[in-house]
Chains A and B, each alone.
Chain A
Amino acid sequence: QKEVEQDPGPLSVPEGAIVSLNCTYSNSAFQYFMWYRQYSRKGPELLMYTYSSGNKEDGRFTAQVDKSSKYISLFIRDSQPSDSATYLCAVSTDSWGKFQFGAGTQVVVTP
């Protein structure tokens, strides 16, 4: 069993819709939770970075962490075609160590 599970998609939504992404993890020691966006053949780009449980909002993006359920989510409001990419969740036991990544969810936003 992988330490981080993520539905690979693809997830297709119309422009303007809310995109809902999630990951589950198995190790309760994970304390740091990240979301990265990766365009095809590019490196991952940091979107959100959260520590422990709770919500964090940044523009159209909201990240949620529920440590009791070992469940993390990313919501994208007012989605745009430029949001079409693969979204990777990552977890870590500490801020400076190795990250465990999910497989990524491919998102397609259609005009």
Chain B
Amino acid sequence: DTGVSQDPRHKITKRGQNVTFRCDPISEHNRLYWYRQTLGQGPEFLTYFQNEAQLEKSRLLSDRFSAERPKGSFSTLEIQRTEQGDSAMYLCASSPQFRDREGTDTQYFGPGTRLTVL
């Protein structure tokens, strides 16, 4: 499978615990994005990387959230001291720097990690 993969697919945690999610982008895609999606809403941008560099962060990304992409390949998103309001689907997407065979340099999404904070 050459698509974007995310792990775990589901995570249930208690309020106050830390959680970490992983995203593996499509091979050779140098851009990687994190979004959050709550029920009945479209995805909301959190942050994105070009290679190892984190180029933009949303105001939604509070101090409790941190994202890394240390080697320019996979990325992790950590949430510290989780709150019930953090319950959502966390989506990862990747895109190539140049247009791919389908003629697009747009974003391809993974299956998401569903977080439930009790």
Hey, which bits of chain A sit against chain B, CB under 8 A?
A: 4, 6, 8, 32, 34, 36, 41-46, 49, 88, 90, 95-104
Q: Are B40 and A8 touching (Cβ within 8 A)?
A: yes
Query: Of A8, A88, A90, A96, which one neighbours B105 at CB under 8 angstroms?
Result: A96
Query: Of A6, A49, A101, which one neighbours B43 at CB under 8 angstroms?
Result: A101
Q: Are A44 and B109 touching (Cβ within 8 A)?
A: yes
Q: Are B41 and A98 touching (Cβ within 8 A)?
A: no
Q: Are B95 and A36 touching (Cβ within 8 A)?
A: no
B contact residues, range: 20 to 34
Q: Are A96 and B95 touching (Cβ within 8 A)?
A: yes
Q: Are A43 and B42 touching (Cβ within 8 A)?
A: no
Q: Are B91 and A104 touching (Cβ within 8 A)?
A: no
A105 to chain B, nearest CB (A): 10
> B22 in the interface, Cβ–Cβ < 8 Å?
no
Q: A41-B114, A98-B48 are in contact. Are A104 and B106 (CB under 8 A)?
A: no
Q: Are A98 and B56 touching (Cβ within 8 A)?
A: yes
A90 to chain B, nearest CB (A): 8
Contacts of B25 in A (CB 8 A): none
B30 to chain A, nearest CB (A): 10
B93 to chain A, nearest CB (A): 8
Given A43-B4, A43-B111, 17 new contacts (CB under 8 A): A4-B42, A6-B42, A8-B40, A32-B106, A42-B112, A43-B6, A44-B109, A88-B42, A88-B43, A95-B106, A96-B105, A97-B48, A97-B56, A98-B48, A99-B43, A99-B45, A101-B42
